[in-house]
Amino acid sequence: MTFKKLDPEVLEQLKAAVTCKVVAGADVAEEYSHDEMPSAGTGMPDAVVVAASTEDVSAACRVLYENDIPIIPRGAGTGLAGGCAPICGGVVIDTSKMDQILSWDLDNLIVRVQPGVYLHDLAAAAVEKGTMYPPDPGEVYSCLGGNVSTNAGGMRAVKYGTTREYVKAMTVVLPDGRVVRFGAETAKNSSGYSLQHLMVGSEGTLGIITEISLKIIPQPKFTVSLLGVFEDLPSCIRCVSTVKLSGLDPQALEFMPRTNIDMAEAFTGKQVYPHEAEGVEAGAYLLTTFECNSDAQLDELMESAAEVLLEGGALDVVVYDTPEGIRNAFAARRACPEAILEGYEHVEECDIVVPITAIADIVEYAKSIEKEVGLDIHTYGHAGDGNVHMKICANNMDEAEFRRRSQNFLDLVYGRGKGLGAMVSGEHGIGSASIDRLAEYSGEDVMELMRGIKAVFDPKGLLNPGKVCKKA
Ligand SMILES: Cc1cc2nc3c(=O)[nH]c(=O)nc-3n(C[C@H](O)[C@H](O)[C@H](O)COP(=O)(O)OP(=O)(O)OC[C@H]3O[C@@H](n4cnc5c(N)ncnc54)[C@H](O)[C@@H]3O)c2cc1C
């Protein structure tokens, strides 16, 4: 397929077809050329359609599809895999201004939203209604359409699973402009292929999501967070399975090496975690959250959780039992990736996910090859679900040399991961960043099925080209 450029005539057709703003040419802001990981791919779009409705998205797609112009769906642009980067040119459909919470059905525990609603806003509104929307990716100013399209995970995935578990139904605009509805707001559904689930994690390559029905749950009544302070990273990581097997069912289980916390505290200008315990310098931290339904259970829970952490090797345990304390403890964790992105000129991301039993292996392996590859490796992340984030970093290095070294590191880590039952991405998606690695991990038969599915939704291959699976 040869992609066409948006010429003045088609631009006029596009403007006439929609009721929303269309920005073209030199007026397009540079930020539309990439997401939060520009190293995964960049490209300026010919125009941006700032969609206000399903009808706008549909009308825009009809014109663009007819004229062989690539269509790139976009939410807040906070992705870390190059998913919304227009690497083949074309027109971005920005869904971030479709930002209304449409309705609450508290009897059936369903909320209907437009795709541009920020996760932050839905989470806060859910709490006000006495409910909870469990998915909790670190970037709260990402859009729900983006979260669904990447199957975003986050800190509560260890207990509640990822975004996929909360998607009941959705409205989707197919690349040729047809509007379809997938799924249902029923408690269960065995009615044919589960197309709404196929859309989850499809990274804007199958259709554009313009409305989503999400499951919410009753809010847990009491939560408490405990921070285990460890002498070093290996002892911290080894404690993860102790907590998992304790039966206390943690809501969150995040690990952070001290070096990351130093960077995060320098970034936020605030020290939250202790730097030593029992006269020993802290080397790593395990941040946990637990829930219960009564005040009486809370004390027992705190005691048991502290015991588990201490028996698992923690030097000391800090308890955060106020909303502000919990917020601050997690703000330090959330600042880890941002602090790294701020502190380095070159940053590459690895979002490998391994079985729980292999977490210590992959983390220790990554750290052990730091010198060999000649780069700074920062590991932190969702220890409880095996999703180990690795930031591969360097300063004062030639771009080509950084690429060469980071690819070497990724080859080594993914090579090790294969033997451990790993998958390429735990939550950020494939985008353009890991497209070759997906093929390598999945094998030709699986890739052929993926390409077949893509061809049914998008026979011309115009929707977000160069992402997830390439044409053979
Ligand atoms: C500091 C930081 C921390 C993060 N922490 C986490 C984390 O803990 N867990 C996690 O999972 N991710 C995390 N992320 C990554 C990112 O926030 C998520 O991938 C998020 O889901 C992307 O949402 P977005 O709205 O920014 O989507 P975008 O970046 O705009 O797009 C992402 C993908 O979704 C597609 N897309 C967007 N909207 C639509 C739509 N309406 N219809 C169809 N396709 C669409 C795009 O084409 C693209 O392929 C983090 C990012 C940062 C910068």
Which two tokens mark 148? 């669904």
**What domains does the chain contain, in order, with CATH numbers?**
8-96 (3.30.43.10), 101-218 (3.30.465.10), 222-341 (3.30.70.2190)
Task: Please tell me the distance between residue 429's alpha carbon and the centre of ligand 1 in angstroms.
Answer: 9
- Per-residue pLDDT tens over the stretch 116-145: 999 999 999 999 999 999 999 989 999 999
Q: Is the CB of 149 under 6 A from ligand 1?
A: yes
The answer, yes or no, to whether residue 299 has pLDDT greater than 70, is yes
Number of the ligand 1 atom closest to the C-alpha atom of 431: 49
Higher pLDDT, 318 or 386: 318
The answer, yes or no, to whether residue 472 has pLDDT greater than 70, is no
- Over residues 408-414, the mean pLDDT reads 97
Give the number of other CB atoms < 10 A from CB of residue 421: 12
Q: Is the CB of 201 under 6 A from ligand 1?
A: no
- Over residues 310-323, the mean pLDDT reads 96
The answer, yes or no, to whether residue 272 has pLDDT greater than 70, is yes
- Per-residue pLDDT tens over the stretch 422-431: 999 999 999 9
The answer, yes or no, to whether residue 319 has pLDDT greater than 90, is yes
Give the number of other CB atoms < 10 A from CB of residue 371: 9
Q: Is the CB of 151 under 6 A from ligand 1?
A: no
- Which residue's C-alpha comes closest to atom 52 of ligand 1? 139
Query: Could you give the angle at which helices 435-442 and 399-420 cross, rounded to 10 degrees?
Result: 20
Q: How many angstroms separate the CA atoms of 346 and 322, rounded?
A: 38
Q: How confident is the model at residue 384 (pLDDT cuts 50, 70, 90)?
A: confident
| Bridge partner residues of 22 (DSSP) | 49
- Cβ neighbors of 25 (< 8 A, separation 6 or more) are 46, 47
Q: Is the CB of 428 under 6 A from ligand 1?
A: yes
The answer, yes or no, to whether residue 109 has pLDDT greater than 90, is yes
Q: Please, what is the Cα angle at 354 between 426 and 365, to 5 degrees?
A: 115
The answer, yes or no, to whether residue 360 has pLDDT greater than 90, is no
Write down the pTM of the prediction: 0.94
Residues across the chain: 472
Q: How many angstroms separate the CA atoms of 89 and 80, rounded?
A: 19
- Per-residue pLDDT tens over the stretch 43-67: 999 999 999 999 999 999 999 999 9
Task: Please tell me the distance between residue 83's alpha carbon and the centre of ligand 1 in angstroms.
Answer: 8
Q: Is 123 exposed, middle or buried (0-12, 13-18, 19+ CB in 10 A)?
A: middle
- Per-residue pLDDT tens over the stretch 140-192: 999 999 999 999 999 999 999 999 999 999 999 999 999 999 999 999 999 99
- Percent of the chain past pLDDT 90, that is, above it, reads 91
Q: Is the CB of 137 under 6 A from ligand 1?
A: yes
Q: Is the CB of 202 under 6 A from ligand 1?
A: no
- Which residue's C-alpha comes closest to atom 21 of ligand 1? 147
DSSP code for 68: T
- Per-residue pLDDT tens over the stretch 329-357: 999 999 999 899 899 999 999 999 998 88
Residue 364, CA distances (Å) to 56, 63, 359 in order:
50, 52, 8
Alpha helices (H) along 43-143: 54-66, 119-128
- Cβ neighbors of 206 (< 8 A, separation 6 or more) are 172, 198, 199, 453, 454, 457, 458, 463
Higher pLDDT, 245 or 356: 245
Q: What is the pLDDT of residue 39?
A: 87
Helix (H, G, I), strand (E, B) or coil at 140: coil
- Percent of the chain past pLDDT 70, that is, above it, reads 100
Of 170, 169, 140, the closest CA to residue 154 belongs to 140
Single-letter amino acid code for the residue at 69: I
Strand order across the 179-183 sheet: 101-105, 110-113, 208-215, 167-173, 179-183
Q: Is the CB of 115 under 6 A from ligand 1?
A: yes
Task: Please tell me the distance between residue 122's alpha carbon and the centre of ligand 1 in angstroms.
Answer: 15
- Per-residue pLDDT tens over the stretch 438-469: 999 999 999 999 999 999 999 999 999 999 99
Task: Please tell me the distance between residue 141's alpha carbon and the centre of ligand 1 in angstroms.
Answer: 9
Which two tokens mark 277? 């315990």
Q: How many angstroms separate the CA atoms of 414 and 334, rounded?
A: 25
CB 348 within 8 A of CB 39: yes
Q: How confident is the model at residue 241 (pLDDT cuts 50, 70, 90)?
A: confident
Q: How many angstroms separate the CA atoms of 91 and 243, rounded?
A: 48
- Per-residue pLDDT tens over the stretch 25-38: 999 999 999 999 99
* Cα atoms in the Cβ-side hemisphere of radius 13 Å centred on 355: 7
